[in-house]
Amino acid sequence: MIFTDTINLAYTAIKTQPVRVLLIILAMSIGIASVTVLTALGESARLYIVNEFEALGTHLVIVLPGRSETTGGHPPLFGETPRDLTLADAEALYRSHNIAAIAPITIGAAPVSTKGLERETTIIGSTSALRQVRHLSLAQGRFLPQTNKALSICVIGQTIKDELFAHQQVLGQWLRISDRRFRVIGVLASEGQSIGVDFDDMVIIPVAAAQTLFNTHSLFRILVEAKSKQGMYKAVDEIREIIKARHEGEDDVTLITQDSVVNAFDDILTALTLTVTSIASISLAVAGILVMNVMWVSVTQRTAEIGLLKALGATKRQILWLFLTEAVMLSVAGALVGLFLGKMTLFVLQTIYPDFPVFLPTWAVFAALFVALLTALIFGVLPARKAASMDPVIALNKK
Amino acid sequence: MIQLENIHRYFQVGEQRIHALNNINLTIKKGEYLSIMGPSGSGKSTLLNVIALLDQPSSGRYRLNNQDVTQLNDEQLAKARRENIGFVFQFFHLIPRYSAAENIEIPLILAGIAAKERKQRVTDALLAVNLQDRAAHRPDQLSGGQTQRVAIARAMIMRPQILLADEPTGNLDSQSGREVIELLENLNQQQVTLVTITHDESLGRRAQRRIRLIDGQIKD
């Protein structure tokens, strides 16, 4: 039998049962649509987060005080054996040759005010290196100078500028943080959404000033940028050695490399995508069972026809493929409708949330079609085999 | 052309074993016109099904064109059926969703013949049964006689040497029954071996050779 004839015979058989066709296509398209939408959302979330992290620099090392056994994931906010990291520790790290920049960080919350306007916000104490390490850019003025002195100067984020210095010349203005005054020397360019820290709602001051402000000697963490990706792992070892030597031989810092964080998120989100997709594919299984059901009824109703085809010289294999082709055509039609529905849904989502990049990976499209095909073959094979193995004499006499 | 030797066919119906064909020995030569008669349950249909390769004998040997067909696999059986045997049924067995032309075309499709040649052969076949103006009609738009003529055209489309007819006039009025019989006998005159089974004595007597089956045995 010629392939196009098989298709043709299957098509004419399908055409006579429009209601069943609609039911199968509906069930299959819902399954495929939900799988594609959820895959797209999961995959987009993963890429979004991975990109956010990678934008921070791929050879970033974060030094946290305290030792905890972690290989990624969320950095612990408080170390377990608090031997403080100090500014001297940070400076000592310059002994490593693999380090490009070191940004010690002290963090705290304090009210900032000017001319009667007050706002509670996050204060970051750091050095000029922070700009390089976090890839910050400035909208106006300049960043912190290369000095460790406790200068009374600050760099503010866009939100702070808008809230406290709306429609005003901001550079050179005084800003009161807690009970101290700082002169504004720069405004950060808007970062938009950034993982972890919102630089828009933030004031950056020299680290020494921050330590005085918050009356502390310890650092929240040290951000280190390695010279290269390869140098990063050497830098990690060297940082560990240097800190150990300074902390009386005790290895009491936690080092997190940027790529381990990215990998952890990558793994988590991939697992999440797979889980969500698996749940969605239950609907595909349901659609598959419907395909089987409808094909079963179809085979039973067309028993006499099957007997006739055998009497006219059809082989078992021809009958089998005839019915499988019907199942496949129905499923693939459902899958195409489902892909269209999925694309529509994604388009609507994209319109509602333009910030979140939603996209459907090409492999998902092919996977959806392949799964529909597979479902049809798996669930269609039983009814088709029933048809193929019918005894022609008995089938013919059935009315 | 058809040689049946010691053919037995048993059916298991519940506890009971039915001996539908009991030691059938029958040789049918090319171009013969044979009728098989007998009361219902005598094994006529079973014999026809065995000859048509739709049913396999429980024991015995069946040689078709000097080839033993009791050992063939499904693929070979279908091919032998397609190329050698045309079948006409009491209840016509046309597929209701297809037109007369499409019904006639089915054996050609199963044989994998190209569309262009199929079209030509279907046109010729419709002409042969004098239904060229009914090509696009579906079975429910045809009379009983016309339907059976379409079925005969379908049976002959592969140009088989053997035409088997199971009560071909059983569902027809006498007028269209006569037309159908004349059509079949006409084909027989063109050297097609014709085997009919029937209850109808007058129809059975038209054949040159007559066989009477009783309880699965041939009684001449």
User: Tell me: the pLDDT tens digits for A41-83?
Assistant: 888 888 888 777 777 666 788 888 876 654 555 655 554 455 7
Residue A241 at interface with chain B, using a CB cutoff of 8 Å:
no
Q: What is the reported pLDDT for B218?
A: 87
Let me know how many helices (H) and strands (E) chain B has, helices first.
7, 10
Strand ordering across the sheet containing B162-166: B85-88, B162-166, B193-198, B33-37, B209-214, B217-219
Q: How confident is the model at residue A140 (pLDDT cuts 50, 70, 90)?
A: confident
Average confidence (pLDDT) over A380-386:
90
Residue A18 at interface with chain B, using a CB cutoff of 8 Å:
no
Of A75-84, A172-181, A251-260, the one with minimum mean pLDDT is: A75-84
Q: What is the reported pLDDT for A56?
A: 67
**A105: DSSP letter:** E
Q: What is the reported pLDDT for B121?
A: 93
B191: left (phi over 0), alpha (psi -120 to 50) or beta: left
Does residue A152 surpass a pLDDT of 70? yes
Q: What is the reported pLDDT for A69?
A: 53
* Residue among B199, B208, B213, B137 nearest B168 (CA): B199
Determine contact, residues B207/B32, Cβ cutoff 8 Å: no
Task: Please give the biggest Cα pair distance in chain B.
Answer: 53
Distance CA A286, CA A281 (A): 9
- Residues B39-71: tens digit of each pLDDT: 888 888 889 999 999 888 999 999 998 888 888
Q: What is the reported pLDDT for A197?
A: 67
* Residue among A28, A21, A46 nearest A340 (CA): A28
Determine contact, residues B201/B37, Cβ cutoff 8 Å: yes
CATH number of B2-219: 3.40.50.300
Residue B75 at interface with chain A, using a CB cutoff of 8 Å:
yes
| Closest-CA residue of chain A to B104 | A312
| Closest-CA residue of chain A to B79 | A313
Does residue A259 surpass a pLDDT of 80? no
Q: Which of A312, A315, A385, A399 to probe the B interface (max B CBs under 10 A)?
A: A312
Determine contact, residues A374/A288, Cβ cutoff 8 Å: no
Q: Find residue A186's DSSP bridge partners.
A: A141, A155
Does residue A128 surpass a pLDDT of 80? yes
Please state the length of chain A. Answer: 399
Instruction: Transcribe B66-97 into DSSP letters.
Output: TEE-TT--HHHHHHHHHHHEEEE-TT----TT
Q: What is the reported pLDDT for A94?
A: 82
Selecting from B55, B93, B107 the residue whose C-beta is nearest the C-beta of A313 gives B107
- Which pTM does this prediction carry? 0.70
Give the gap in angstroms from C-alpha B98 to the nearest C-alpha of chain A.
9
Determine contact, residues A82/A66, Cβ cutoff 8 Å: yes
- Residues of chain B short of pLDDT 50, as ranges, are none
Handedness of CA A194, A82, A69, A276 (dihedral sign): negative
Mean pLDDT for all residues in chain A? 84
Q: Which residues of A touch B81 (CB under 8 A)?
A: 311-313
Distance CA A193, CA B205 (A): 97
Q: Which of B13, B46, B54 to probe the A interface (max A CBs under 10 A)?
A: B54
3-state secondary structure of A76: coil
Let me know how many helices (H) and strands (E) chain A has, helices first.
12, 10
Determine contact, residues B55/B87, Cβ cutoff 8 Å: no
Distance CA B179, CA B173 (A): 10
Q: Which residues of B touch A2 (CB under 8 A)?
A: 109, 112, 114-115
Higher pLDDT, A124 or A53: A124
Higher pLDDT, B194 or A375: B194
The answer to whether the Cβ–Cβ distance between A309 and B55 falls below 8 Å is no
Q: Which residue has the tokens 């005003």?
A: A168
Angle A88-A91-A96 from CA coordinates, rounded to 5°: 130
Distance CA A196, CA A175 (A): 25
Distance CA B24, CA B158 (A): 28
3-state secondary structure of A75: coil
Residue B127 at interface with chain A, using a CB cutoff of 8 Å:
no
Which is it for strands A117-126 and B2-13: parallel, antiparallel or unpaired?
A: unpaired
Quote the radius of gyration of chain B (alpha carbons, Å).
17
* Residue among B101, B138, B97 nearest A16 (CA): B97
Mean pLDDT for all residues in chain B? 90
Could you tell me the residue ranges of all domains in chain B?
2-219
Q: How confident is the model at residue A306 (pLDDT cuts 50, 70, 90)?
A: very high
3-state secondary structure of B193: strand
The answer to whether the Cβ–Cβ distance between A314 and B110 falls below 8 Å is yes
Residue B138 at interface with chain A, using a CB cutoff of 8 Å:
no
Distance CA B46, CA A95 (A): 100
Q: Which residues of A touch B158 (CB under 8 A)?
A: 313
Does residue A178 surpass a pLDDT of 90? no
The answer to whether the Cβ–Cβ distance between B83 and A310 falls below 8 Å is no
Q: What is the reported pLDDT for B32?
A: 92
Q: How many beta-carbon pairs below 8 A join chains A and B? A: 69
Could you tell me the residue ranges of all domains in chain A?
3-52+264-397, 84-251
Q: Which of B93, B103, B122 to probe the A interface (max A CBs under 10 A)?
A: B93
Residue A399 at interface with chain B, using a CB cutoff of 8 Å:
yes
- Residues B15-44: tens digit of each pLDDT: 888 888 888 899 999 999 999 998 888 888
Does residue A194 surpass a pLDDT of 60? no
What was the ipTM of the complex prediction? 0.90
* Residue among A337, A285, A297, A293 nearest A13 (CA): A297
Q: Which residues of B touch A399 (CB under 8 A)?
A: 91
Give percent of chain A above pLDDT 90. 10
- Residues A78-120: tens digit of each pLDDT: 544 557 888 888 888 888 888 888 889 898 888 988 888 888 9
| Closest-CA residue of chain B to A2 | B112
Q: Find residue A382's DSSP bridge partners.
A: none
